[in-house]
Structure 1
Amino acid sequence: MISSCFAGNTRGRRITMPSVSLPLNNFSKIFVFGFAVCLAAGCAPAEKPAATHAADNPFTEAGERAAATLNADEIIKHVKVLGSDEFEGRGPASRGDRLTQAYLIEELATAGYTPAGVNGTWLQPFDIVAIDSVAPGAWTFARADQQQDFTHREEYVAVSGVQADTARLENAEVVFVGYGIQAPEYDWDDFKGGDLTGKVLLMLNNDPEWDPELFAGDRRLYYGRWDYKFESAALQGAAGAIIIHTTASAGYPWQVVETGWTGEQFELPAAEKPRSQVEAWMTEEAAGKLVAMAGEDLPAMITAARSRDFEPVPLGVTTSLILNNTITGKETANVLGILPGSDPELAGEVVVLTAHHDHLGIGEPDETGDRIYNGAEDNGIGMGIVLAIANAYASMPVAPRRSMLMLFVAAEEQGLLGSRFYADNPTFPAGRIAANMNYDGGNIWGRTRDITFIGYGKSTLDSVVDLVAARQGRIVKPDQFPDRGYYYRSDQISFAKIGVPATYFDEGMDFIGRPADWGRQQIEEYEAVRYHQPSDEYDDSWNLEGAVEDVRLGFWVGLMIANADEMPAWTAGDEFEAARKAALEARME
């Protein structure tokens, strides 16, 4: 019941509470009637849905006072704790994970939020499976009288695709399958109906990016994601899959693959879907040597793959591999706190702010001997931002009209597991989630004239963000690294898949007082040196002036969504529009 979920101590905060009692899955007639009237009045999305309307003057004095509480110190104090060595890198199901959950609960309770997890708690626990695969020091490939060995970590990484004691390839032939994509809507099929059962598929990263009329041009789609590649290979019955890594196609250097795909890997318990035995990555140089065993040239093969007429290329190269796995069942949890809405007719709908609370834990040491992957930027600052915004909303004398759900999801680094679990088991049905705003990282380099809105052009959230940014004297830009597919790489995608308009804000790149390319240089230096490394630690050199502007923008956007008469909508024809329509229809049943 929403009323029982909302009950709790507000610790002196002056918050107007709604007088409603609604089962989460059995909505009252007022919501059904109001939605039906909206549809009859023509509120359904048109070619381009109407903008999300807020009050005549959304920038109220109370909002201004709340926004003013958002400052650098309010964010940094959380980063210093959550990114400290004491929290041991916040690995899933670890001591650091439990410390993180306890910290978030304490901060939400102090702010005046109430538990929004299961059975009246702050948590939504879920099971995960830890798979620790032992890969051989050398992976051998053979063709006729040739043999080529590739060194683990330096040239390849491989993990088990199955939750079993061993994952095995036995004399499996390697077949080059281009991008490994089947996309009928783009008239693209890299497999051409060939029988690939039991093969090892060698495939390119990314999706066809050279033609703006083909796929989405340089904007990466889900087809370009590594998780799609492995899913696609499994659907073909392949025994294994190898993705060829390049920094340009992945958006990060090989060292990120090396650290992320060695040691314990976490998954949700096995579902009834196809899986290949082995999922692997290989450096571009190593892949070149592999195809050369068949007399092929990798650049020429890549050129051939850039065509709808491409057909799979059997290499006549075979390989065997055994991964010995240690399988352990563990538990982690999402952390949820809610601020009840003040409008009885809208309090049963929520605006969800998310930040993942995990990182990589304790792993291989770097050159200094440091083994703790602190994750200060990824995602200590994201948690600090959401906690700061949560406090700002709770400080207002009258709460936003819709309820505000602060959701800190677990195990993002392992494949968005926490947000995927929440999407499959939402505490609010998708049709009652107005929007999701996700925070994954933040600006640590100073003020910018712009802000990056990942997901710009996909929904009516655009107009709200444009309005707030203009008031700050800034401009909104879409993803400034479109080839990296950021929209599909963090927790907002789990909400989008169930139809919820979802986005996240990233730092701008037009830094005030800096050369034109300075911002891009900082981001690329971070990704090359500190991303997913022990060196991702808080540093006193961080300049959060720009982050504060970004956070205040997010505060206003969330408030305007919460106070609007209508929920946001996807742009007509968007890939997630159909899921939204289904979610809205389900709330009327």
Structure 2
Amino acid sequence: MKRFRFTSLVFVLACTSLASAQDTTATHSLTTAEMAAAEVIDEDGLRGHVRFLADDLLEGRGPGSRGDAITQLYLSTQFQTLGLSPAAGDGQWLQSVPLVGVNTNAPPTVTFRSGDENLTLKSVDDFMSTIGSPTESASVDDAELIFVGYGIQAPEYDWDDFKDADLRGKILVIMNNDPADDPELFEGSRRLYYGRWDYKYESAARQGAAGAIIIHTTPSAGYPWQVIQTSWAGEEFELRGVETPRMKLKAWSTDDAAKKIATLAGKDLDELRAAAESRDFRPVPLGVTLSIELTASVRQQDTANVIAVLPGSDPDRRDEHVVYMAHHDHLGMSAERDINGDNIYNGAIDNASGVAALLAMAKAYAQLEPRPARSIMFAAVAAEEQGLLGSRYFAADPPISAGKLAAVINMDGTNIIGRTHDVNVIGMGKSSLDAHVQAIAKAQGRIVTPDHFPDRGYYYRSDQFSLAKIGVPGVYLHSGIQVIGKPDGWGKEQLDQWVEKIYHQPSDEYLEDWDLTGAIDDTRLLFHVGRRVADAAEMPAWTAGDEFEAARQKAIAENP
């Protein structure tokens, strides 16, 4: 488990100073005109959009579903009503996102063998398995399990968990997260992309493995096992036609199940994990084999990003765009009902609330006079819950070249617990956009804080990450925790309970007792940040040496 260090605060202060130095245009006050424009963002508007998008009639907005189509129509007609222009290309509102859906039929149990001894685990309770490619069947026959630690190859940290071992045809057992004990490695308590489950599967596939089993723990994942059960059940989607290395099996195991597998191998899992914290770690053959037969139904299915634009007023800068982004999808419907008789994953907070904020800001911009110098793009993207697929497609085929995308401001969930003194920035210190956030926060009488949960890797779990990979700096907020009028610790307790009980569950439903005053503050802040970026003399820049700086330089060089 990663631990917070006081050195994180020193790092943030240093990066904050750098960001401020990069952009001296940020002022710490709001004009009367700015405040009047933001008044359009109000509680009725936010509630109305969430109520509709999270209603049972939309059936959880699963990709390619009837609810998905209704959502796309709702968004495009809202944009049209506001007087925005379609921006998906060829005068269209919708950027089609081609998907392939795979619904795995996993066996009720899986059995691991070591010599004459067997270990049988229950699917769903102990083990989640999905087919690793869009095919109707896959089989693994007596594949040996190899413990590979974190499964990371990071030359910049002189780290290689594989050490040239021949892992072809093996099942790799992988720890979630990335090393945390040394602040000089993998940025200490802050999880990087190396700690993400999608990196683990990609890394295993590059080794030619037959499959990979990621060991789930609540601290390493940032959420309980029930999220794995819901997120990895039913139909899974991927972008159609993308050629990448494949495995036959993608799987998760509970921590208890992984300990039992290690015991079957005559090993102690905690001792294996301790050894994996060192650069000297080498893959450990477990002498345990797995055979499994998987079948699946496969279908081609499309969804769409909904994209609109407000053209800029400056002829010299209107071809540069500030992008507001929020994902409009959720998990759809389950084949089985929960104990309350509910099988609809409404996704009210995740992410009907973020889309509501997007639409509220679109309304504010539509009424803004004078218009910003740069153009403002609104992108409601699809299939985020399936691995950021809509934003990945947007980034691969952007309506505007990457070098002309000034910034992305992403909304993935909003504050429902009331006004907060703090503005929580995910990825603070990464770009000059921090200066704008700090200026508006100060004008609101608030403070800016770095990620409250750096070990959860939130920066790499939402759509701004897709645009970061093509060089676009971004702003991404989470709800603050210093709730005004509440005792210390109350806000964090509410967020922890939400992750434990509501995240990716049918209980993520709209409630009238939400306190949206904090959501209004945050949405107005993002409105002001985007407007100032749109009017600034220079486009935002990554902090020198940031992991995405080179991509930005390349994108700008390709679009002089």
- Counterpart among 147, 157, 173 of residue 202 in structure 1: 173
Q: Note the C-alpha offset of 1:503.
A: 2.5
- Contact preservation (8 Å) 1:93, 1:331: yes
- The answer on 1:322 being equivalent to 2:285 is no
SS of 1:169's partner is strand
Q: Structure 2 matches for 1:28-107, cutoff 5 A?
A: 50-54=21-25, 59-107=30-78
Percent of pairs with identical residues: 54
- For residue 56 of structure 1, report the CA deviation from its aligned partner: 7.2
| Distance apart, 1:397 and its partner CA | 2.2
What residue in structure 2 maps to residue 463 of structure 1?
435
Q: Residues of 1 paired with 2:544 and 2:22: CA distance?
A: 13
Equivalent in 227, 235, 241 of residue 264 of structure 1: 235
Structure 2 unaligned blocks of 5 or more: 1-16
The Cα offsets for residues 333-392 of structure 1, whole Å up to 9 and x where unpaired, read as 000010010111111110000000000001132111101100000001000001001100
1:515 matched to 2:487? The reply is: yes
Instruction: Return the alpha-carbon distance in structure 2 between the equivalents of residues 96 and 103 of structure 1.
Output: 10
- Number of the residue aligned with 1:477: 449
Counterpart Cα distance in 2 of 1:511 and 1:160:
44
Q: How do residues 93-492 of structure 1 correspond to structure 2 at under 5 angstroms?
A: 93-363=64-334, 364-492=336-464
Aligned to 2:11: none
On the 8 A contact 2:150/2:178 being kept in 1, the answer is yes
Q: Deviations over 1:3-30 (max 9, x none)?
A: xxxxxxxxxxxxxxxxxxxxxxxxxxxx
User: Shift of residue 291 of structure 1?
Assistant: 0.8
The equivalent of 1:6 in structure 2 is none
Q: Which moved more, 1:485-494 or 1:497-506?
A: 497-506
For residues 63-116 of structure 1, the C-alpha deviation after alignment (integer angstroms, 9 at most, x for no partner) is 221111111111111000000001110000000000000110111111111111
Deviation for aligned residue 1:139: 0.6
Cα deviation per residue 1:493-534 (whole Å; 9 max; x = unaligned)?
Answer: 000000000121111111112121111111110111111111
One-letter code aligned to 2:227: V
User: How far, CA to CA, are the matches of 1:49 and 1:316 in structure 2?
Assistant: 55
Equivalent position of 2:476 in the other structure: 504
For structure 1, which runs of at least 5 residues remain unmatched after alignment?
A: 1-45
SS of aligned partner of 2:357: helix
Between the aligned partners of 2:132 and 2:487, the Cα distance in structure 1 is 46
Q: Which amino acid aligns with 2:376?
A: M
Asked if the contact 1:201–1:242 (Cα under 8 Å) also holds between the matched residues in 2, the reply is: yes
Asked if the contact 1:49–1:569 (Cα under 8 Å) also holds between the matched residues in 2, the reply is: no
Per-residue CA distance 1:451-487 (angstroms, 9 max, x = gap)? 1011210000011111110111110011110000000
Deviation at 1:556, TM superposition (A): 0.6
1:312, 1:379 → 2: CA distance?
A: 40
What residue is the counterpart of 2:4 in the other structure?
none
- Which whole-Å CA distance do the structure 2 matches of 1:136 and 1:418 have between them? 31
1:542 aligns to 2:506 (yes or no): no
SS in 2 for 1:120: coil
Say which SS state the counterpart of residue 324 (structure 2) adopts.
strand
**Cα pair distance change 1:49/1:197, threshold 3 Å:** farther
Instruction: Report if aligned partners of 2:30, 2:443 keep a CA contact under 8 Å in 1.
Output: no
Rounded Cα–Cα distance in structure 1 between residues aligned with 2:56 and 2:265: 49
Tell me the SS of whatever aligns to 1:118: coil
Match of 1:37 in 2: none
| In 2, Cα distance between equivalents of 1:268 and 1:479 | 30
Amino acid at match of 1:90: R
Give the Å deviation of 1:193.
0.9
Q: Does 1:552 align with 2:527?
A: no
Q: Which 10-residue stretch deviates more, 48-57 or 159-168?
A: 48-57
Check whether the contact 1:128–1:329 (CA below 8 A) recurs between aligned residues.
yes
1:365 alignment partner, SS class? coil
In 1, the alpha carbon distance for the partners of 2:451 and 2:539 equals 24
State the SS of the aligned residue for 1:119: coil
Which moved further from structure 2: 134-143 or 209-218? 209-218
Distance 1:396 1:370 in 2: 42
Partner of 1:530: 502
The CA deviation at 1:51 is 2.9
Question: Normalization by structure 1: what TM-score?
Answer: 0.91
The amino acid across from 1:353 in the alignment is Y
Distance of aligned partners of 1:512 and 1:304 in 2 relative to their CA distance in 1, 3 Å threshold: same
Secondary structure of residue in 2 paired with 1:452: strand
Q: Distance in 2 between matches of 1:55 and 1:252?
A: 37
Alpha carbons 2:45, 2:360 under 8 Å: kept: yes
User: Please, what is the CA RMSD of the aligned residues?
Assistant: 1.4
Q: Distance in 2 between matches of 1:68 and 1:366?
A: 41
Aligned 1:575-586 pairs, distance under 5 A: 575-586=547-558
1:167 Cα offset (Å): 1.9
How far apart, CA to CA, are the structure 2 residues paired with 1:117 and 1:63? 29
Q: Which amino acid aligns with 2:488?
A: A
SS of structure 2 residue aligned to 1:378: helix
